[in-house]
Structure 1
Amino acid sequence: MAKKQAAPASRGELSGMERLALRVSSMINHPVAQTQRWVTIHRLDTDGDREWEEVLGVIADTEELELTLNDDGSVTVRWVQQEVEPAGKGDPEFELEEEAAPF
């Protein structure tokens, strides 16, 4: 009988980068953060150097976000509320035409 080789990682397991990105995204999208339009993100012991730098790079490269490095190693992300275009604004108006019933 041949031995089965152990899989390197389970399909459901997230990488360090995926975990960090998901945590940061959840923090930014949290209702309280959305109301105040800022959030402070603390680096956890489980966050690798490469992952932390990559996520900070993505945030810094995003025009709508302002990144502030704090003395304690955390970062504060701020943004201004984007104006939302009302639904239908700029769309052409259509008039409904009555059609004769097909029967």
Structure 2
Amino acid sequence: MAIPKQQSKPVEQQEISGVERLGLRISSMINHPVAQIQRWVTIHRLDTDGDREWEEVMELLSETDGIDMTFSDDGAVTLRWEMSLEEERPVELVNAEPAPF
């Protein structure tokens, strides 16, 4: 008995907007472990970043509490932030067992 082939459904690819693409790039830079340790990141504008998209994302960042923005002459932007209250709390281990090695 032959097993019928499953027809693969065409995958719909949704285009993301320039603002979303730039936002994802900046978000991944901010969330990078090194950036989280040093609490700053420098964002360079790429040729693919449109004027409107860049201005919109920079405005959103400027409205975000706890972020200090420094604009460089070359167009780069350095974001700095302080440790949040949640990060300042020491981690408590409850019922911690010694490692088995």
| TM value normalised by structure 2 | 0.72
Q: Which runs of 5+ in 1 are unaligned?
A: 1-9, 88-103
Deviation at 1:63, TM superposition (A): 1.2
- Which of the residues 21, 24, 39 maps onto 1:22? 24
How many residue pairs align between the two structures?
78
Q: What secondary structure is seen at the aligned counterpart in 2 of 1:67?
A: strand
Q: Does 1:72 align with 2:96?
A: no
Cα distance in 2 between the residues matched to 1:86 and 1:70: 36
| TM value normalised by structure 1 | 0.70
4+ runs of 1 displaced by more than 6 Å?
none
Cα distance in 1 between the residues matched to 2:38 and 2:76: 18
Kindly provide the CA deviation profile for residues 10-50 of structure 1, in whole angstroms up to 9, marking residues without a partner as x.
64321111110000000011100000000000000000000
Deviation at 1:86, TM superposition (A): 6.8
Report the residue type matching 2:74 in the other structure.
D
Considering only CA atoms, is the larger Rg found in Structure 1 or Structure 2? 1
- Which of the residues 35, 45, 48 maps onto 1:43? 45
Q: Do the aligned partners of residues 29 and 51 (structure 1) sit closer, same or farther apart at CA in structure 2, a change above 3 Å counting?
A: same
Identity %: 62
Cα distance in 1 between the residues matched to 2:37 and 2:90: 20
Partner of 1:56: 58
Q: Which runs of 5+ in 2 are unaligned?
A: 1-11, 92-101
Cα distance in 2 between the residues matched to 1:83 and 1:17: 30
Report the residue type matching 1:82 in the other structure.
S
